[in-house]
Amino acid sequence: MSKLITINMNRKPIYDIMIENDFSQLAEKLKTLGYEGVKATIVTDKLVGPIYADTIKDAVKDVFSDVFVYAFDAGEQNKNMDTVQAILADMVENKMNRHDLVIALGGGVVGDVAGFCASIFMRGIDVIQIPTSLLAQVDSSIGGKTGVDFLQYKNMVGAFKMPKLVYINTNTLSTLDDRQFYAGMGEVLKYGLIMDASFYEWLLSKLYEIHDKDAATLEEMIEHCCICKQRIVERDPEEKGDRALLNFGHTIGHAIEKYKNLTLMHGECVALGCVAAAFISWKKEKLSMEEYYEIRDMFVPFNLPISIDDIDDEEIMKLIKSDKKTDQNGIKFILLKKVGKAYIDKTLTDEEILNGIKEIHFVEDGE
Ligand SMILES: NC(=O)c1ccc[n+]([C@@H]2O[C@H](COP(=O)([O-])OP(=O)(O)OC[C@H]3O[C@@H](n4cnc5c(N)ncnc54)[C@H](O)[C@@H]3O)[C@@H](O)[C@H]2O)c1
Ligand SMILES: [Zn+2]
C-alpha cells in the first residue's frame, strides 16, 4: 500500500514523501518532477550500494541520460569533508551540471553527506533522498538538514537543502541488521515522548509486530513518524524554535556517543539520553515517579540500553558543555512535561544535569 505525505512551507507544497514497498513508482515520479534526460549520481556507501544501487539503476534506466554511482566507506567516521571532496571531484569528472540530480541512497550518514554535496555543487543542484535505515526513514531524510562532522564537532559544517523527493521503500529494512533497526526505534519512541502520547501507547501495544518486522505495522509506524516530523519542520524549518524539541535525549546522548568514540550507536545513545532527561523531568517535578520509571523501562523491550557502565560523569558533562548548541545563555535542554509534551529548558544547573548522568551510570555493587 502506498502512502503520500506532502511537506508544505508557507502553504506551498515543497516536496513529497512517498512510502512504498518497492521501487516501482520511482521512475514515474522522477519523470513527473522533470528529470527526464538529465544525469544523476547515486551517492551511497559501500554496504548499501552493493545491495541496492543496481536495482535503482535498473528502475530509472528510462529516466536519465546517464547514472553514476559513488560509494564511500560506510560509517559516521566518513561523514567528513574528505568524503565531500571526493564526491564533488567525481561529479566534476562525470561532467555533472546544474540541471543534474544527486540521489542519496543509504542511511543518515549518506543522506547528510549527499545532501550537503548537492547544496554546494555549482551553488546547489537538486537532490532526492532514498533512505534505507530506519533512522533515515523516520527522521534524517526529512527536513532538509544536511552536513558533515568537522574538527571534533558533530554536524558542524552544513546547509539547509530541501530534497525534491523522499522515496521510502520499507522493504529495504529487511537487509538492515537488528542492532541498527532497534537503534532507529530510539528515535521512533522519541516522537511519542515529545509530541504524541497515543502514538507512544500504540508502539507499546505493537511490540510483537515490531519485533516481527510485520510489514503493515512498520509502514504505519514509519508513516506516523514522517507525519510527526512534517508537523515540526513545517512549523519551524530552520530550527529557530520548536524544532529543537527533536533534540530530546540528544544533549546527553551526543556526549555519550562521543565519549564512547562511536562504539555505541546514535539511537542507543539517544535512548540513554532520553532516560536521563526523563529523570531530570521527574526531579523538576514535571513527571511523576511512576511516569519516569515507565518511560525508562519502555526502552528495554525494544533492545535499547537504559544504563551504561564505564563512563566518567564529569567528562560527559565537559563534552556537553563543548557542544556547539551550548551558548552563553546556558544549555538548551529538552525536558518532558508529560508523555507527549516536551519543552525547552535553559535553566538547568550543572548539578541537575550531572544527576541525570549519574542516574544512567550503572555502577556494579561490590566490595
Ligand atoms: N539531517 C538530519 O536531520 C538528521 C537527523 C538525525 C540523524 N542524522 C544523522 O544520521 C546519521 C545516522 O544515521 P543512520 O543511523 O542511518 O547511520 P548510517 O547511515 O551510518 O547507517 C547505519 C548503517 O546501516 C547500513 N545500512 C543502512 N541501510 C541499510 C540497509 N537497508 N541494509 C543494510 N545496511 C544498511 C549503513 O551502511 C551503515 O553501516 C548521523 O550522522 C546523524 O547525525 C541527521
Ligand atoms: Zn538523532
Do residue 207 and residue 266 come from a single domain?
yes
**Which of 23, 112, 142, 258 should be mutated for ligand 1, with most atoms under 8 A from CB?**
112
126-131 and 101-106 beta bridge pairing? parallel
Q: Which ligand is nearest to the CA of 114?
A: 1
> Can you tell me the distance from the alpha carbon of 164 to that of 313, in angstroms, rounded to the nearest whole number?
43
With respect to residue 365, please indicate whether it lies within any of the assigned structural domains.
Answer: no
Residue 142 C-alpha to ligand 1 middle, in angstroms?
13
Query: 22-31, 52-61, 325-334 — which is least confidently predicted?
Result: 325-334
Residue 115 C-alpha to ligand 1 middle, in angstroms?
13
Do residue 159 and residue 192 come from a single domain?
no
Query: pTM to 2 decimals?
Result: 0.96
The residue-averaged pLDDT of 80-94 equals 98
pLDDT in tens, 129-186: 999 999 999 999 999 999 999 997 889 999 999 999 999 999 999 999 999 999 999 9
Q: Which ligand is nearest to the CA of 105?
A: 1
Contact status, residue 107 vs residue 141, Cβ threshold 8 Å: no
- Our answer on whether the CB atom of 139 is closer than 6 Å to any ligand 1 atom is yes
Q: Is 184 helix (H, G, I), strand (E, B) or coil?
A: helix
- Our answer on whether the CB atom of 109 is closer than 6 Å to any ligand 1 atom is yes
User: What CATH number has the domain bearing residue 270?
Assistant: 1.20.1090.10
The residue-averaged pLDDT of 28-57 equals 98
Do residue 124 and residue 220 come from a single domain?
no
**Which range marks the domain in which residue 144 is found?**
3-175
Residue given cell 535512548 in the structure block = 271
Q: Residue 126's pLDDT band (boundaries 50, 70, 90)?
A: very high
Q: Residue 245's pLDDT band (boundaries 50, 70, 90)?
A: very high
Q: What is the model's pLDDT at position 325?
A: 62
Residue 107 C-alpha to ligand 1 middle, in angstroms?
3
Which of 175, 207, 240 is at the close of a domain? Answer: 175
For residue 201, is pLDDT > 70? yes
Q: Which ligand is nearest to the CA of 271?
A: 2
For residue 367, is pLDDT > 60? no
Q: What is the model's pLDDT at position 121?
A: 98
With respect to residue 367, please indicate whether it lies within any of the assigned structural domains.
Answer: no
Q: What is the model's pLDDT at position 240?
A: 83
Q: What is the model's pLDDT at position 333?
A: 95
Atom of ligand 1 nearest to the CA of 183: 15
Atom of ligand 1 nearest to the CA of 133: 28
| Number of domains forming the structure of the chain | 2
**Which of 73, 109, 150 should be mutated for ligand 1, with most atoms under 8 A from CB?**
109
| Residue-by-residue DSSP string for 112-179 | HHHHHHHHHGGG--EEEEEE-SHHIIIIITSS-EEEEEETTEEEEEEEE---SEEEEEGGGGGGS-HH
Residue 31 C-alpha to ligand 2 middle, in angstroms?
33
With respect to residue 366, please indicate whether it lies within any of the assigned structural domains.
Answer: no
Which of 109, 142, 175 is at the close of a domain? Answer: 175
Residue 184 C-alpha to ligand 1 middle, in angstroms?
9
- Our answer on whether the CB atom of 269 is closer than 6 Å to any ligand 1 atom is no
Mean model confidence pLDDT for the chain = 95
Atom of ligand 1 nearest to the CA of 52: 31
For residue 87, is pLDDT > 60? yes
pLDDT in tens, 289-307: 999 999 999 999 999 999 9
Do residue 94 and residue 210 come from a single domain?
no
With respect to residue 95, please indicate whether it lies within any of the assigned structural domains.
Answer: yes
- Our answer on whether the CB atom of 74 is closer than 6 Å to any ligand 1 atom is yes
The residue-averaged pLDDT of 57-63 equals 96
Q: What is the model's pLDDT at position 262?
A: 83
pLDDT in tens, 256-266: 999 998 899 99
Contact status, residue 17 vs residue 4, Cβ threshold 8 Å: yes
- Our answer on whether the CB atom of 159 is closer than 6 Å to any ligand 1 atom is no
Do residue 237 and residue 94 come from a single domain?
no
